Structure 1
Amino acid sequence: MIRGIIFDFDGTLIDSYEAIAESLNHVRATFSLPAFAVDQVRPMVGHGLERLIAEAVGPERVEEGIRLFRQSYAQICERRTSILPQVKQTLDTLDGRGYQMAIASNKPSYFARDILKALEMDHLFAEVLGPNDVDRPKPDPEMLEIIIMRIGLSPEEIVYVGDMPLDVEAGRRAGVAVYAVPTGSATREDLLHARPDRLLHRFADLLSILPSLSGAR
């Protein structure tokens, strides 16, 4: 029986693409490169900051690019990020049904925590991990494995919910069930090809799949 839910963050719970694009374009402008449109940035998100910056300005500029990105993003991420449709109500309901919830994201956890606090959702999650907390980012399963250990459940009691084939791979490697939602950068076709255990039509579909646990408040 599922007792714990681990979520990806960007594209699964929140829409932060405009904020990421703005900060990425700040970096590109510093190197005299033209701005990206948000739709160009969207498929670049989710693989970690180093890869994002390398794709945007070149691998030889990653160190300086990361420094510039962090400075910009820290100033705008809270006010330029929004909760995706159906997410807050669904999370509140799942919390009331007794599920332990956590986040495993390739976004640095210090940014994720700040955004969660600004959106008044930080109290819902027992753990929030990012690539700065582990040796290897997703699709390596390390983040998921640490969360599973910390919340005291077995992989068989966990479902991982994400919006990218990378999330499906991470969940598979961690030995947990994986549900995919087409609310981020990947298309439904991409997600179908990745073969999650379930491909949801919308985030709120979780409520029809995950019933109230015995003894839930």
Structure 2
Amino acid sequence: MKTIILFDLDGTLIDSTKAILESFSVAFESFNKPVPDQEKIKSLIGYPLDVMFISLGIEEEIADNFVQEYKKHYRKISCQKTILLPSAESAVKKASEFARLGIVTTKTGRYSRELLEHLNLMQYFEILIGREDVINPKPHPEPILKALEYMNVKDETCWMIGDTLLDVQSAKSANITPIALTCGYGKKEELCDSCEHIVENVFSAIEIIDEKKA
């Protein structure tokens, strides 16, 4: 019986900050709106795009217009302006030796697959659940439960690795064990208050899981 490990994407396996910030700038400029402070944008990474735009002051009824402009630009530049985080590749390869793997992200699934294929990692994952695959994104348990259902999980030990409180809350609601990373976009204080396992990077998370299974 293999362990199940689900991964978040941004701030966990990849760094697409440059592509995200540039795409937000393009979206705001397309509608002649002032571009928000970059730190404010970065603090919202992990939430769905519509939630991010609304939190940045865009009216709910027109937020989707900004999302579409964002996506149009993001798709053009995402592969060129996204890199793997240090140790991400080795972590995924190590995990694949003893576990079945999946991705659960609030990014658009289509673009996420393209990114992972570009980075030569997609072949390690059985399932990728993106924003368009669920009604309720993280912190709701639906994305995780949908991934586990697809993987036909029964009695396997399941883990969720992510860098934000959304990942931790989603995992807990789905009754699986979270590991929080401090290398991403989440606030360390919040993560420490909500999660038993806190590590610096994804490779350290895989080491914990490997030790626990033994």
Q: TM-score with structure 1 length normalisation? A: 0.90
Match of 2:153 in 1: 153
Q: Which runs of 5+ in 2 are unaligned?
A: none
**Secondary structure of the residue that 2:120 maps to in structure 1?**
coil
Letter in 1 for 2:207: S
Describe the shift of the 1:158–1:84 C-alpha distance in structure 2 as closer, same or farther (beyond 3 A).
Answer: same
Matches within 5 A, 1:5-20: 5-20=5-20
**More displaced 10-residue stretch of structure 1: 144-153 or 200-209:** 200-209
Per the alignment, in what secondary structure is the counterpart of residue 26 of structure 1? helix
Whether contact under 8 Å (2:12, 2:201) holds in the other structure is no
| Alignment match, 2:210 | 211
Q: CA–CA distance in 2 between the matches of 1:104 and 1:12?
A: 11
Q: Percent identity?
A: 24
Q: Residue by residue, what CA displacement relative to the aligned partner does 1:75-107 show, whole Å, maximum 9, x if unpaired?
A: 0111111111111011111112x2100011111
1:96-147 deviations in Å (ceiling 9; x for gaps): 2x21000111111111101101111110110000120011111111111111
Q: Write the distance in 2 (CA, Å) between the matches of 1:200 and 1:2.
A: 23
Counterpart of 1:81?
82
Are 1:12 and 1:181, in contact at CA under 8 Å, matched by a contact in 2?
yes
- The answer to whether the Cα contact below 8 Å between 1:102 and 1:147 also exists between their aligned partners in 2 is yes
CA separation of 1:145/1:103 partners in 2, compared to 1, >3 Å: closer, same or farther?
same
Counterparts of 2:82 and 2:169 in 1: how far apart (Å)? Answer: 26
One-letter amino acid of the structure 2 residue matched with residue 93 of structure 1: K
Letter in 1 for 2:163: D
Aligned-partner SS, 2:184: coil
Q: What is the alpha-carbon distance in structure 1 between the residues aligned to residue 120 and residue 211 of structure 2?
A: 23
Match of 1:71 in 2: 72
CA offset digits 1:141-171 (Å, max 9, x no partner)? 1111111122122376100011111111100
Q: Where does residue 202 of structure 1 map in the other structure? A: 201
Q: What SS class does the counterpart of residue 160 from structure 2 fall into? A: strand
CA contact (8 A) 1:2 1:158 kept: no
CA RMSD across the alignment: 2.0
* 1:3 and 1:213 in contact (8 A); partners too: no
Residues 39-64 of structure 1: CA deviation (Å, up to 9, x unaligned): 33211111101112223333242121
Code of the aligned partner of 2:170: A
User: Whole-Å Cα distance in 2 between the matches of residues 67 and 23 of structure 1?
Assistant: 10
Structure 1 CA distance for aligned equivalents of residues 127 and 101 of structure 2: 7
Report what 1:31 is aligned to.
31
Q: How many residues align?
A: 212
The alpha carbon displacement at 1:196 in A equals 1.4
Question: Is this contact kept in 2: 1:156–1:177, CA < 8 A?
Answer: no
CA–CA separation in structure 1 for the residues paired with 2:198 and 2:204 = 10
TM-score w.r.t. structure 2 length?
Answer: 0.91
Contact 2:168 2:178 in 1 (8 A): yes
Q: Contact 2:4–2:156 at 8 Å: present in 1 too?
A: no
Are the equivalent residues in 1 in contact too, given 2:183–2:200 (CA < 8 A)?
A: no
Letter in 2 for 1:95: S
2:129 matches 1:122: no
